[in-house]
Structure 1
Amino acid sequence: MPIYHPRLTTIDLKETKRYAGLSNKTDFSENLLAEACTRAQLLVTPKGIWNIYAYDQDTHTIMAPNPLVLSANNVIRHLHGSVEVAVMAVTIGLTLEQEVSNLFLQNQYTLGMLLDAAGTTAVEAACDVICNVIDQHAARSGLTAGRRFSPGYGGWSIDIQPDILDLASGGAIGLSVTASKMLVPRKSVTAIVGLYPYQQMLNIPEHQELSCDKCGHSGCHARKESNNND
């Protein structure tokens, strides 16, 4: 697939506050939060790429030229009913995290922390844009896209990161993986998205769960609330 450049018209302040672990805090500068989001919007260079493969449910295999057999139960359940998968990679580049490092060196810790959180907001927003494009692409084949699921979350071992990055062709947007399986640039995401026949998707409510609902890290500052709790 060609490289896609998501356009982020704003960096959400509420989401940035949540990623910074400040959702319940009132004793910090809203102006500083706004400054971090404005800086982030100027610093990020979002890019995304994905490939679509047939998926064999019986063997839990992504039918790439070098097939990948999935073994994590949560991922297998997540993809139940899918006939294809989109494997995606998204990044906002290195510039923002370099600026965060500079701010820490200048002892501007609060602004640096908020800018880092704004970077997380930005990459998540870019992922949402890519997922929407994938869904539009799938619709041309009578399919609909489920939620994304990333290595390192919901019990899916981070050890599979190099394989997922390779399936997504993430190197084409400058991504690589360290020996500890972390993505570089740091503000990057890989994920798998199941593509389902539309009528079948309607009958699989578990695919509408937030990925946070599948994750055991209940104390995470970035944890999203289920719609059931609204």
Structure 2
Amino acid sequence: MHVTTAFISVKALSEKAKLYGATITEYLICHLIESIVEIQKSEIGKKHFLPVKVCVPVNMRKFYPSKTVRNFAQFVNVGISPRFGEYTFQETLSIVRHQMGLFATEKQLNARMSMNVNAERHKLMRIAPLFIKNPAILIAFIRNGDRNSSVTLSNLGIVSLPDEMKKHIEHFDFMLGALSTNPIVVGCISYNDLLCINITRSIKESFFEREFLTRLVKSGIHVKVESNQRF
């Protein structure tokens, strides 16, 4: 597993995002999308462009207060179709913002949850033995899950600690597990004024990190990079 970590000032990134009227998450999503589009241009050409989607987890605790420490999230896929033409950064941002506003609502997320629960409660699924049920669920996940997105971005937000602990902690890491159907995933977490972006991948090539981090630097953001491999 290859991990590349980028350290960025939260204040600097927030100020840059505000210039576009965006949140930090929206700003990063747009750079992820543009990075993948650029890679497609160089690797497969415009005639074979594929839609670029970023899978974004939405914390369901906002709508259903829960004390569980288990993962309680739904996912929305936001992005663009490069086949429709060239997109400016502002155009991509506008699309991302509107898609997040449309899909990351209580009613839309409730509908997704209901669909998942209804599938589990189907009579045939309830009486089916596990050796049939488990492969069926796996196939459904492959067809409707990570396969429908190009990359995953999860931003945990700001970590708060008691005063007694603060002086002992420099930063936090948040690493997602890359899958065969989604080999590149991005986890973000902030502590004090330091945003830590962990890019995890299960493939050998590092062109995605290069493109993404280069774009951030070219936008005027100072980035410190660490990796468990040579670029």
Q: Please report the TM-score for the alignment, with normalisation by the length of structure 1.
A: 0.29
- Quick check: which has more Rg, 1 or 2? 2
| TM-score using structure 2 length | 0.29
Greater relative contact order, per chain length (Cα 8 Å cut-off, separation 6+): 2
